[in-house]
Amino acid sequence: MALQYLRPSQAIRRCPILCRAGPSPAVPRAINLHLRRLVSTFNASLRPVTRPNIHPNTRNITTMTSPEPALSPSTPVTPIFSPSQPADLPARATSLLQTSSWTLTPSRIAITRVYRFKTFKAAWAFMNQVADECKRQRHHPSWHNLYNEVTIEWTTHRPKGLSIKDVEMAEFCDRVAEEGGAVEGEEGRRCC
């Protein structure tokens, strides 16, 4: 097998193959070193991000993301809205975030809230009512149930961002939770 010299542009195109298989004798040592430097520079630019627990019995999940500018605590954090949304959506979303327990996720494209009920049965009834409305609206949350706690996250995947449906469903959840006997603080029994 003859040695094959590659221009840097050719080596970069083959980088995924080289990185997985290790250095190849067919690629000159200088290009291998250059590729290693590129890969290590890219990996160094990634920063670990810890996602919050869904419930207290799980560990934090750490993932790698691309670098983002850090926001100072004084910087107002505004949601990222889906394109083509009604003009009143920013005001409704801001009102929802300021007047209730809904919070904006770190990605700024979703809102989340934890509801606590007196019993598991009450939490399940709440989830059933929300599920019925989800079916009617053709919009479904990401949610988790742990005994009497229900964690809900609303976002729109296509087009990506916060949409009017997310805000309407969050308002619906607040109404149903209030009617269904959601409790504040430590009133609800904990399973563990």
- The whole-angstrom separation of Cα 66 and Cα 59 is 22
Mean model confidence pLDDT for the chain: 76
> What torsion do the CA atoms of 192, 180, 168, 61 make, to the nearest 10 degrees?
0
- pLDDT tens, residue by residue, 38-93: 555 555 555 555 555 555 555 544 444 444 444 444 456 788 999 999 999 999 99
- The whole-angstrom separation of Cα 33 and Cα 90 is 50
Give backbone dihedrals phi and psi of 84, rounded to 5 degrees, phi first. Answer: 60, 50
Helix, strand, coil distribution of the chain in percent, nearest 5: 40, 20, 40
Count Cβ atoms below 10 Å from residue 121 Cβ, excluding itself: 10
Nearest to 91 by CA among 186, 174, 167, 181: 167
- Contact between residue 120 and residue 148 where contact means Cβ atoms under 8 Å apart: yes
Rg of the chain over CA atoms, in angstroms?
24
The predicted pLDDT at position 70 comes to 41
Residue type, 56: P
- pLDDT tens, residue by residue, 17-31: 545 555 555 555 665
Which pTM value belongs to this model? 0.59
The predicted pLDDT at position 77 comes to 78
CATH entry 1.10.10.10 includes domain 89-183: no
- The whole-angstrom separation of Cα 161 and Cα 155 is 6
- pLDDT tens, residue by residue, 117-138: 999 999 999 999 999 999 999 9
How is the chain split into domains, by residue range?
8-45, 89-183
